[in-house]
Structures are given as structure tokens and as C-alpha cells.
Amino acid sequence: MMFDEGKVFYKIRDYKKAYQAFEQAIQLMVVPNNAAIHEARGAVLYELKRYKEAGASYEQAVQLDPIYKSSYIAKSDELLIEGKSLYTSKRYKESLIVFEQAIQFHHMNKRAYILKKWVQDRIAHSKANKGGLSNEPFRCE
């Protein structure tokens, strides 16, 4: 079965082959509303950094079976953690990109929008200081 092959490819981190196997499983599926396959495809697309498609696949899995919502949220949180880490390392532009990816992945995640705005404000603040980034935390007054 293609689904089982996809899981094997995913475990060995051959994400392209895993994606192909999951796509075939969806196309050949006798029962097209199998949430597990859509969730697995979302996980592979996430690893391939195709966040918008991954988010859509996770959303489809959640619509079919709400039990998959926890894995969708967990993946979204991974991106937020990565963005926060980059921000803490003063890699502001990179963190902005990651927060934008988080929004593409899970467009209903309000925290991603808040954190993106936070970074944009920080970048704007640093530009106002003639391009120099101060070590002081940004305060909105």
C-alpha cells in the first residue's frame, strides 16, 4: 500500500519519495476522506518547507477528523519557536521570514501575526536609529 511506503520514506527522511507515495495513496484511495493520509502528506510538505501546502493538507485532515488538530498546532508552534530563537539571536530579518512562513502554514494562528508585527516594529526601530541595532529591548510607547 502506498500509504505504508510513504511512512517508510518519511522515517528515513526521503521526503520527496514520501510525498509521491502519499499523493498516490490519496489518488488511489477507495475512501478519499482518510484524515491520516492528509496529515501525513502535510507533515512531508512541512519538511519540504512547502508551508502553505502543508497547512492546507493539515486543515483538510482536521476537517475530516478533529483529532489531527493537535499535530497541526504542534507544527505551527515549531515555526514560532524557530522564529523566536532567531529573534533572540538578533537575526531579525530571518525571524521575520519564519513568522511569515508560520502565517502561510497556519493562517489562523494569531500569535504568528503578533510576533511578525513585533519583529517589524523592531526592524523599524533599528532603522530609525540610523541602521544601528541597540541592545536595549524595544518598547512601544
Does 133 map to a domain? Answer: no
Does 114 map to a domain? Answer: yes
Residue 117 CB: number of other CB atoms within 10 A? 11
Q: What is the pTM of this model?
A: 0.71
pLDDT given at position 131: 54
Percent of the chain's residues with pLDDT above 90: 53
Same domain, 8 and 42: yes
Spans of the chain, pLDDT less than 50: 135, 138-141
Q: CB–CB of 119/87 below 8 Å? A: yes
pLDDT given at position 127: 82
pLDDT given at position 87: 94
pLDDT given at position 46: 92
Same domain, 59 and 97: no
pLDDT given at position 130: 66
Same domain, 43 and 78: no
